[in-house]
Amino acid sequence: MHGNLDAIPAISAQQVTKVFGAGPGSVTALDKVSIDIQRNEFFTLLGPSGCGKTTLLRLIAGFDHPTSGRIDLEGSDISYLPPFKRPVNTVFQSYALFPHMSVAENIGFGLKMLGKPAAEIDAEVEVMLKLVKMEAMRDRSTAQISGGQQQRVALARALAPKPKVLLLDEPLSALDLKLRKEMQIELKRLQHETGITFVFVTHDQEEALTMSDRIAVMSAGKVLQVGTPRDIYDRPSRRFVADFIGDTNFMDAELVSAGKGSDSKASLKLASGKQIAASLPDGDMSAGTVTAVVRPEHAWLTKPKASSVLTGNLETIVYFGTDTHYHVSLATGGMFTVRMQNARGQAGEFSEGDEVGIDIDADAVQVLRD
Amino acid sequence: MTDTAAASRKSGTSGAQAGVEARRADVRNRWLLASPALTVIFFAALGPLLIMLVYSFLQKGSYGGVVWSFSLDGWFNVFLKRDIFDDTLGFADGHLSIFWRSLKLSFGTTVLALLIGFPTAYYIATRPANLRPVFLFLITIPFWTNLLIRTFAIMEVIRNEGVVNTLLMSLGVISSPIQMLYTDFAIMLGMVYVYLPLMVLPLYASMERLDFRLVEAGYDLYATRLGVLRRIIVPMVKPGIIAGSILVFVPSLGAYVTPRVLGGGKNMMLGNLIELQFGQGRNWPLGAALSITLLVVVMVALLFYVRNASKSGVKSHG
């Protein structure tokens, strides 16, 4: 596919570093970040606050410029272009709607600044109002509409100039839970209908998993892992990624053999002495002590038996409605959480204080890189 | 007041007589409480104005003061004059030209103060929050010195043997001094210098509340720097622009010291004309009528402000 125009990524960040301030008080917000974001992709930058995700978004928008490295938009360098010369629009966390303009004037602002004729602007504004279902609010002031409606206007305003890339800076964080769920679906719909590349910034891992085509998990100015939601959740390659997304059991283990070929599994020796097959992260790993992770729902409790991978004492049971969490104090030290779905009307067969065995799904053990 | 209110509540059912009594006491108390404010308003604002209004309709005394008999001469002389030789009526073009020049100079002063004050206020508003009070403090420093002394200082800077001319001549830029003192330029320079803080402070107050994310949103939506200034910053700080302009325009129109010192005797403004009537001119009714006229001009300017402020985006600064 090389040489094909479609293979050129929408956004390509290469070794991008951003340092704020100078001297000993300077802060490195981004540290040699390289990411390719494909066209028509719903791409999410996920990480805790201060991880650099918003800084990267601001560099793509042009509000800040990289200290070193470069950012390409469809193959051409935009690192130092001012924001008004980039075909990229932003939906701000605070919406940043212009309070002295009506809903329609807000939506038409970008087109007006691009020098489009009035008739064309009017027509496009109508299309956008329809797209975000705000036709009735056309002439309202932005102070007269609700938070969810402001969100829709902000989206329409950013989409109206038909940008090549739409940047969304935690746009749902100010909405209540129900509205947030609605807008998540709405955003996916808009992305499908417009075919525009979305770059979405969030600290909400659930939001990232449900909405994204691909996710980049960031921490302390670095991109730790890029992959599909399933990749990120099932095959985390680093401790931070495994810990940040979902609940995880960490286990120290001995890497006995790495296995050869892409299909074959590595072999781990756990503290209990049992051996278990595991997936390795991409790249070479040498034998030695490693950390492996298992998601709580990929394990289940049994009566203690000789073949149990792990054994321990069931300390607490927490009932969650759809499932129950069992916290087990392992015989070899440490805690392990097992999550099992509840069947209707069926009382659990385990009670606190029981000695239990833990079995783990085949293919559920993932070795971390660090 | 609480006592009487409670009393009136208690007596409400017992007898209408007591109720009326309590209500009267209530009204009395209200006036008593308002009396300090009313006293100030009457003696400091309405009283002098009334005296001016009355004086403008009296005859002038031969040695100043007024003669207590009704006359429209004062008002007549504001706009018209009688030729001393053939007794024909003509427009008082001397007065009108002073009115016109006052309006012109005040307008010029306001525009210049806005052009200088806007970037200054923007600069201060975009500094880190801990530095802003320092800049505001610096802005107010000129207020510490007497206006007359500051005006004489400007005279020292721009007079023919002053700092600017001496410097330019010693550098060989000019061979003979530029006449700056006693010109309209000198008056405007002095007024801009004196009234600039009155422009900067309200502008700063508006800009400090400006949400700079809106500026970023403007850039993001393809507005150039000029576009952002014109379509986003100016509309949002419009209340500050109007307030600052009024605060500069109104005192400029009535300025006395600055045109007197920097304009010499010949470049008069309204303030000087009015002073002249109460001094050498010995025509108090004319002076009073001119003052009232000035007041009306200012009122019109203020009405313009109120109308515009209520139309513009003041609501966005809630």
A63: nearest CA partner in chain B: B216
Query: Cα B109 to the chain's mean position, in Å?
Result: 11
Shared domain check, A267 and A214: no
What is the CA angle B46-B51-B54, rounded to 5? 120
Do the Cβ atoms of B315 and A99 come within 8 Å? yes
CATH label of the domain that carries residue B161: 1.10.3720.10
Written as six digits, the tokens of A168 are 């969304």
Shared domain check, A220 and A295: no
What digits encode the pLDDT tens for the residues B111-145?
Answer: 999 999 999 999 999 999 999 999 999 998 888 88
Provide the pLDDT for residue B8. Answer: 46
Residues A151, A175 contacting (CB under 8 angstroms): yes
Q: Give B-chain residues touching A91 at CB under 8 angstroms.
A: none
Interface probe for B, chosen from A20, A65, A86, A98 (most Cβ of B below 10 Å), is: A98
User: Which residues of chain A from 133 to 172 reach within 8 Å of chain B, CB to CB?
Assistant: 143, 157-158, 161
Shared domain check, A273 and A199: no
Shared domain check, A275 and A362: yes
Give chain A's domain count.
2
Strand B58-60 and strand A366-367: the pairing is unpaired
Written as six digits, the tokens of B235 are 């509309």
What digits encode the pLDDT tens for the residues A308-360?
Answer: 889 999 999 998 888 899 999 998 888 999 999 887 766 668 888 889 999 99
Residue B314 C-alpha, separation from nearest chain A C-alpha, in angstroms: 9
The amino acid that residue A129 corresponds to is L
Angle in degrees, 0-180, between the axes of helices B147-158 and B163-170, rounded to the nearest 10: 20
Shared domain check, A216 and A162: yes
Taking 70 as the threshold, does the pLDDT of residue B13 lie above it? no
Shared domain check, B294 and B164: yes
Provide the pLDDT for residue B316. Answer: 41
Looking up tokens 């601001």 gives A58
What is the CA angle A239-A242-A245, rounded to 5? 140
**Does the residue B185 lie in any domain?**
yes
Shared domain check, A162 and A128: yes
Shared domain check, A280 and A161: no
Percent of chain B surpassing pLDDT 70: 92
Do the Cβ atoms of B221 and A92 come within 8 Å? no
What is the pLDDT averaged over residues B12-34?
A: 81
What is the pLDDT averaged over residues B182-191?
A: 92
What digits encode the pLDDT tens for the residues A134-177?
Answer: 999 999 999 899 988 999 999 999 999 999 999 999 988 888 88
Provide the pLDDT for residue B311. Answer: 58
Provide the pLDDT for residue A263. Answer: 56
**Partner residue facing B316 (CB), from A99, A113, A114:** A99
HSE, CB side, 13 Å, CA atoms: give it for residue B131: 6
In A49-94, which ranges are continuous DSSP H helix? 53-61
**Partner residue facing A109 (CB), from B213, B216, B221:** B221
Shared domain check, B46 and B187: no
CATH label of the domain that carries residue A111: 3.40.50.300
Q: Which domain holds residue B25?
A: 2-55
Shared domain check, B19 and B115: no
H/E stretch holding B60 reads strand B58-60
B226: nearest CA partner in chain A: A113
**Number of H helices and number of E strands within chain A?**
8, 20
Residues A55, A29 contacting (CB under 8 angstroms): yes
Q: Rounded to 10 degrees, what is the CA torsion of A166, A170, A171, A172?
A: 140
Provide the pLDDT for residue B15. Answer: 64
Q: In what order do the strands lie in the sheet with A335-341?
A: A299-302, A355-360, A310-319, A323-330, A335-341
B224: nearest CA partner in chain A: A84
Mean pLDDT of chain A: 90
Shared domain check, B267 and B206: yes
What is the CA angle B277-B280-B284, rounded to 5? 30
Provide the pLDDT for residue A2. Answer: 46
What digits encode the pLDDT tens for the residues A220-259?
Answer: 999 999 999 999 999 999 999 999 998 999 998 888 877 6
Interface probe for B, chosen from A55, A60, A84, A86 (most Cβ of B below 10 Å), is: A84
Q: DSSP label at A102? A: B
**Does the residue B245 lie in any domain?**
yes
Looking up tokens 């923007």 gives B122
What digits encode the pLDDT tens for the residues A39-70?
Answer: 999 999 999 998 999 999 999 999 999 999 99
Provide the pLDDT for residue A262. Answer: 56
A160: nearest CA partner in chain B: B221
Provide the pLDDT for residue A347. Answer: 65
Shared domain check, B153 and B49: no
Shared domain check, A224 and A251: no
What's the pLDDT band for B83 if we cut at 50, 70, 90? confident
Provide the pLDDT for residue A264. Answer: 63
Q: Give A-chain residues touching B237 at CB under 8 angstroms.
A: none
The amino acid that residue A171 corresponds to is P
Angle in degrees, 0-180, between the axes of helices B270-278 and B284-311, rounded to the nearest 10: 150
Shared domain check, A25 and A140: yes
Strand A11-20 and strand A68-73: the pairing is antiparallel
Closest CA to A298 of A368, A235, A351, A244: A235
Shared domain check, B274 and B164: yes
**Partner residue facing A113 (CB), from B223, B312, B315:** B223
H/E stretch holding A328 reads strand A323-330
What's the pLDDT band for A77 if we cut at 50, 70, 90? very high
Shared domain check, B269 and B144: yes
Q: Which domain holds residue A262?
A: 247-367
Shared domain check, B137 and B30: no
Among A169, A202, A234, the domain-final residue is A234
d(CA A279, CA A272): 19
Give chain B's domain count.
2
Residues B264, B255 contacting (CB under 8 angstroms): no
Query: Cα A272 to the chain's mean position, in Å?
Result: 35
d(CA A46, CA A227): 11
A163: nearest CA partner in chain B: B221
Residue B312 C-alpha, separation from nearest chain A C-alpha, in angstroms: 8
Shared domain check, A156 and A23: yes
What's the pLDDT band for A274 if we cut at 50, 70, 90? confident
Shared domain check, A10 and A104: yes
CATH label of the domain that carries residue A313: 2.40.50.140
Written as six digits, the tokens of A139 are 């002439």
What digits encode the pLDDT tens for the residues B211-234?
Answer: 989 999 999 999 999 999 999 999
